[in-house]
Chains A and B, each alone.
Chain A
Amino acid sequence: MLIFTDFSENVFLNPIVKLYRQHFNKKSFENVYQISFCKNETLKIKHSACHFHVKIMVYYFPAIAGREFFSVSVKDLLALQYKGDRMGLTYLESVVLSILKRINGERTIYALLHLLQGKRSSQTIQDAHLYKLTPYFSTYPTVSRSRLEKMMESLKRGGLVEEIAEGKVLLTSRGEEKLRLHLAKCPLPEFLNGWKYHQVTESFWERLTLLVQVSSNLIHQERSYIPIRNKQETLSWVKQFIKQQSGDRYTLAERLYEELISALENSAIKPELVIIRLTGFKKIGLTLSQASEQIGMEPTHYHYEFLNCLHFMFNKILDVPSAYPLLDGLLNKAERLEPLTLSAKKTYKLLQLGYSADEVAAVRNLKQGTIEDHIVEIALIKTEFDIDYYVPASKQERILLAAQQISAKKLKQMKERVTDASYFEIRLVLAKYGDIEWN
């Protein structure tokens, strides 16, 4: 069985298709094939055979994708290529298009960049809530500006988006259709919750991988091995954590095993994505790129499905922490789950001491607008924060009413409806009730 995988991002200019031979000793295939379309559109085949059975996993051949076995000739492949059609979407493109669809041309693509990178600014945090994009917050910290810009160019050229103003784009009907088709086959991860978990995901994973490695070596009586984590902080944390556990090494490993099985067992996720990354006694886990290659997913797709598994597991742990004493320990002792920016946190402390917004601005030597940004951020994050002091209840109702009537959440239009409300008041009300009242 052969698998298509790992496509370069620019489908038009550099469509290199690689055929991987997965099951090595299946007799029906004598050799490894490599087919590549080069820039000058010539086709190179590393073997004389012209027909292969292929399992189409990917993305650029929507016409034949999803069919387990398919006999495809070189001619067919060429035909697909020559249609001049942009063939499909990469996984990251589907994420980006889904987000752009929500934003609806009201923010630039850089707002999207900051969202994926998890920029800790009031603007980004508010946008994440306003457009219900909190699941994606900080889910791709390493994505670069230039990569996103290049992708936008490619999407524009393919007629999937159109630019309506500098940096602001809308999906074309063609783009909507492509996205719909893509999502039908390959839906976005349903348990992803970047906003809630972005501060714990990494440290949890670092600790878990190390704890598993240490436990596994402990039960095999192996003392001489090199830890797969080299951050001093993680090393001392896990060491301390193991000391605190009651029971012997065998109990620890068994309990860890049982908790992981219970937290990951669910048909809605793919636990193997997590397990193949784990390191144990004389068995070193796979890197992200190795794992994605073995599973047969694009690296970005793998990354999101992997996060999806972790976040699913976090939900399960936090639902019944007492059932997962070890995993809950790895999760809980990490940074707090409610992230206010440092500056907003200072403002919040002063507000709690009874200072007014003006006084806070004076004390902290900051602009009024900055303090207002902080208050909006606090309202987003601290559900117990009371905004009646800043916006009278009757005005809140009128703002919410206007919000329901105006589908595109444009502040300007809302202000035209509720003339006596300031932008700050509107933003604050939306921040407080936005997620509940809008649908």
Chain B
Amino acid sequence: MELKQYLAKYFPFPDFRPGQHETIDAVIEKNHTISMLPTGTGKSLCYQLPGYILEGAVLVVSPLLSLMQDQVEQIMAMGEKRVIALNSFLSPQQKAFALLNLENYKYIFLSPEMLGMESVQDRLKRLSVALFVVDEAHCISQWGYDFRPDYLKLGEFRKKLGKPLTLALTATATEEVRKDIAEKLYLEEWKEVVYSVDRPAISLALERVASFREKLERTHELVNFFKGPGIIYFSSKKVAEQAASQLREKGTKKAMAYHGGLNSESRVLIQQQFINGQLDVVCATSAFGMGINKDNVRYVIHFHMPMQLESYLQEIGRAARDGLDSIAILLYSPGDEQLAYQLAEAELPDQYQVERLFGVLMEQQIPYDGLSQRAEELSMVCGFTEIQWRIIMEYLSNLESQNYLADSETLMQLVENRIAVKKQQIRTMLDWIQTPGCKREFILESFNEELANKPANCCSSCGINREHYKETKSSIEQEETVMDWKHDLASILLISERIE
């Protein structure tokens, strides 16, 4: 059977998107593959489809719980029920049951922490694995923009599984990072499917404003001007809330804030309202958008500057998935980079905190494998945030031996390296903001690519005709909502013939 026939049989898509066909070809010909496809090309199809061709289970390692959940739901929504996520959402009983019946699943999603458990490892060793998939594979590289120390274990794990056929997926990885991925996963030979990071359908704009207040006002103007729906990204939950409530008050657009501070019910509802067209714009932190399938996002505004070019690309990549023209605008006011530097430093523990931690460890002779039980106490004593603690835990619990003095030094070394990398990334982002040259060219150059064709509305340096992105329909008058709860309930639960 041709790949296209598989596509028609199992999936609701008319055709492959760029890179999918090549990646799947490479995989079913049993090549280890590193595939770099732009956000929104449906990376999951690259392992889902081979799953119907290859014998055995498809193991997918995914870094974020929420992302994993989204992927599982999307696969289920397509009618494939043999899918499970092994993560900390499962109760011990559910986990035990799932492990016992693992043979019944075709697609098994795993969090890196689950892979660290020996019981899980042993169970997986007895499974016939057709394909080992590492999603967001750049997380394995120190040079990647989202390094996760627990991803380093994946190489060892892959060895234990007997080096099965492997597919590493990422949206943004420089050549250096791709090499690093292969090395850390112990791939001796591999194929690369690399698609340009360029998204010609998205026009890239930079706007300078003088102050925070002006930025809020400008955001409002832009939201009113552009054709929606749109997403506005913020670095701060509070500002996201503030902007959303201002947009609502002014009354012209349906806006909501989305961030990690909301409870899970609200998060799901807002996400679904946006997908379903009940919202015009979402004011979000970077927590929003991973795994969201919405084709017609027409603009993405950055209220704060992203911390790396890579996350900027990820976030603007949520626009124009249908291939129609869209626009991305980054609003910059002088000094914005200070917030980025602060956030970068706040993610990592400082010297004082590390010294304090080792002081306590030495005094009470706490072994590294006893750290997790005392997480709360130690975090409080040393003032660690959750992210800081996670970094420390992952580093120390992966050490073979224990030497407080030496380890505290190497830990500090690691922290300093990480901060240096992050600062460099912020500087690159700032260079992009400040370059008078073509914004698109700049991005491609930093991924060692060349710009072959300049699209019509390329970037703010080359010139953009804003009218092209303007909302042409006059804003639809809100219908008078007469609230009748019985009628509302009937419209949900009765088919139309039954509603009088």
Contacts and interface: CB of A to CB of B under 8 A. Distances in A.
Are A and B co-members of a single complex? Answer: yes
A258 B266 CA distance: 27
Contact of A228 (B69, B251, B272): B272
Interface stretch (B70-78, B106-114, B195-203, B319-327): B70-78
A260 B489 contact: yes
Contact of A280 (B250, B478, B492): B492
A257 B493 contact: yes
Given A32-B249, A34-B249, A284-B273, A230 B477 contact: no
Contacts of B74: 226
A286 B256 CA distance: 11
Contacts of B262: 287
Contacts, number: 117
A191 interface: no
Interface string B242-278: 0000001111000010000010111011101101101
A284 B276 contact: yes
A140 interface: no
A212 B494 CA distance: 11
A395 interface: no
A280 B491 CA distance: 8
Interface in A1-56: 18, 20-21, 23-25, 32, 34
B69 A275 contact: no
Nearest to A260: B489
A32 B12 contact: no
Interface string A96-136: 00000000000000000000000000000000000000000
B493 A233 contact: no
Interface residues of B, number: 44
B274 to A, nearest CB: 9
A275 B489 contact: yes
A282 B266 CA distance: 17
B77 A219 contact: no
A289 B276 contact: no
A410 interface: no
Contacts of A18: 249
B483 A216 contact: no
Nearest to A265: B486
A401 interface: no
Contact of A233 (B91, B251, B264, B498): B91
A365 interface: no
Nearest to B77: A224
A21 B264 CA distance: 29
Interface in A283-326: 283-290, 293
A253 interface: yes
Interface in A216-242: 216, 219-220, 223-233
Contact of A257 (B90, B268, B490): B490
A271 B495 contact: no
Contacts of B436: none
A217 to B, nearest CB: 10
A223 B79 contact: yes
Contact of B77 (A212, A225, A276): A225
B268 A219 contact: no
Interface in B67-99: 69, 73-74, 77-79, 89-91, 94
Contacts of A256: 493
Interface string A239-266: 0000000000010011011001100100
A92 interface: no
Contacts of B73: 226-227, 230
Contact of A254 (B477, B486, B494): B494
Contacts of A230: 69, 73, 89, 264, 268
B489 A278 contact: yes
B72 to A, nearest CB: 9
Interface string B474-500: 000110100111101111111100100
B269 A219 contact: no
A68 interface: no
Contact of B493 (A224, A232, A280): A280
A272 interface: yes
Contact of B89 (A21, A34, A219, A232): A232
A138 interface: no
A282 B276 contact: yes
Given A24-B251, A25-B480, A287-B269, A220 B494 contact: no
15 contacts: A20-B249, A224-B77, A224-B79, A226-B74, A232-B89, A232-B94, A233-B91, A254-B498, A257-B489, A257-B490, A274-B485, A282-B276, A285-B269, A287-B269, A287-B270
Given A212-B493, A284-B278, 15 more contacts: A219-B495, A220-B495, A229-B268, A230-B73, A231-B89, A232-B94, A254-B498, A256-B493, A261-B486, A272-B484, A276-B483, A282-B276, A287-B256, A289-B266, A290-B256
Interface of A: 18, 20-21, 23-25, 32, 34, 212, 215-216, 219-220, 223-233, 250, 253-254, 256-257, 260-261, 264, 271-272, 274-276, 278-290, 293
Q: Which 7 A-B pairs have the closest CB atoms?
A: A280-B492, A272-B485, A257-B493, A287-B266, A275-B485, A32-B251, A24-B478
